[in-house]
Structures are given as C-alpha cells and as structure tokens.
Amino acid sequence: MLGLGLGSSKLEKIKKKHLKWFLLLGLIEPFSYFLCEVFGLSMISATLAAVILSTIPLFSPLFSCLFIRERITVSNIIGLLVSLIGVCLILLDGKGNFAFKPLGLLLLFGAVIVAITYSLFVRRMSRHYSEITIVTSQNIIGVFLFLPLFFIVDYNHLGELSISSHSIIAVIVLGIFASALAFVFYAYSLKHNGIVRTNAYLNLLPAMTAFLAYMVLGDSLSFQKIIGVIVVIIGLFINQIPSKPQD
C-alpha cells in the first residue's frame, strides 16, 4: 500500500486534527473486526457466522440514517430484504450446523457493529482523504496494534507451525487482495455510492462463495443455492432503483 500510494501520488499527509480519527479507524478495522470475527468463528459454525455477518447490510441503513443523515429509499429497504432472503436460501441449504457458544455469537454480532461503524468512519474521512491514504494508514496502525498480541499469544508457538510455499503464497494473496485492494475498492464505493448501497453488495459474499466453491473446489451447487444467488442479485438490482426517500 505504501508503494502504491507513493507511486501514484495518492498518499496524503494527515492533518493533526484528524490523527485521532485515523487511530480510531485502525482500532476499529482491521484490529477489532478481525479479532471478533476470527475468535467468533472458532466458537460457532461457519454457516451461522455467515448468516450473522450477512446482517451488516440490513442494519446499515439504520446506522447511516441516525449518524450521518444518509437518505434511505423504499427500494433500498425492499432490495436489502430480498437479498437477505437469497442469502438464507444459499446458507440454509439443509446442511447448516448451528452449534455455538454464546460468547462466539456475541463476538460475531460485535463484528457486525464494528463493520458498520467502520463504514461510517470511512464515509466521513473520504471527504478529506483518498481511499489509498485511508487504507494505508489503517493498515499501518493495525500492524502496531497486532504486534503486541502476536508476541504475547503466538510467538512462543512459531516452532509448531508447518510453513510451506502454499501457506506463504496464501498469506501474500490475502494481504494483497483481502487486506489491501478490497478495502481500497470498498472505501471508494463508500465515498461515491454511500453506505446503504455499498453494503448491499456484501450480500454477494455468500453467493460468490457458493459459486467459486463450485468452480474451484468442486463443491455441490444445489438448485436451492442457484435460486438463492438469483434472488440476491435481484435484490441488489432493486436496491439501486432510485425512489423517493422515506421521511
């Protein structure tokens, strides 16, 4: 991100009055979100976790309306509800294991609140800084927040890890695509499309996961999942239809 920012001249100097907001941004995401998500996933099933995280677009309109007065339209609400039905069709394909620990459930709902809060922060900061500046800064702050935890929790267990070329490549790919470019695109969309419309596309995550798991991993793609993917896409189209904002 530093190389990309310096090479494109998009890396801006942060003003002193905004430093505290960037520190909070780094604390929110990647630090708090990934801790809630990873530890939560260790306590509940992946299916239930996906259902919980898919509520992010559902709660986003409420938060954006309350805190930044972003307009909510009828098509936004209908589209989100339709997409959520599609997500349920994909995830609840008769194979869900809903065993969970209460703490895991709490952590995943914490991740939902953190993700929405992150959207609010980025939406405001994008008025003053480029997407590359925001993402680069949050990741640098995240490094300093994660390092103490790494030395406290994992450092003494490094000898137990089985490190291979495949695992190294996987970490590099995750770093480039999931932790850098995805956040840049997300911040850009928040700036130009708003929180409600942008977060609606998060409903595509389980749909794309199901499709890619079929194409790459050879997982089954049932008729119910196919219908779910179609319903999610229909919901996204509805979400983008201009209409009069609700009072």
Q: Give, as one character, the DSSP assignment of residue 16.
A: G
Helix (H/G/I), strand (E/B), else coil: 43: coil
Q: How far apart (Å, rounded) are the C-alpha atoms in residues 126 and 183?
A: 12
Report the length, in residues, of the chain: 247
Are 115 and 36 in contact, with CB atoms under 8 Å apart? Answer: no
Domain boundaries, the chain: 13-147+164-239
State residue 73 phi and psi, 5-degree precision: -105, 165
pLDDT tens per residue across all 247 residues of the chain: 888 777 777 788 899 999 999 999 999 999 999 999 989 888 877 666 777 787 788 788 778 888 877 777 888 788 888 888 887 777 665 555 555 688 988 998 899 999 999 999 998 899 899 999 999 999 999 999 999 998 998 888 887 777 888 889 988 998 888 888 999 999 999 988 888 888 888 877 777 877 777 787 777 777 887 888 888 888 878 877 765 544 4
Q: How far apart (Å, rounded) are the C-alpha atoms in residues 76 and 209?
A: 24
Beta strands in the chain (DSSP E): none
Helix (H/G/I), strand (E/B), else coil: 237: helix
Which token pair is 176? 């480039």
Q: Which helix (H) or strand (E) holds 23?
A: helix 19-26
Q: How far apart (Å, rounded) are the C-alpha atoms in residues 198 and 192?
A: 9
- For position 139, what pLDDT does the model report? 92
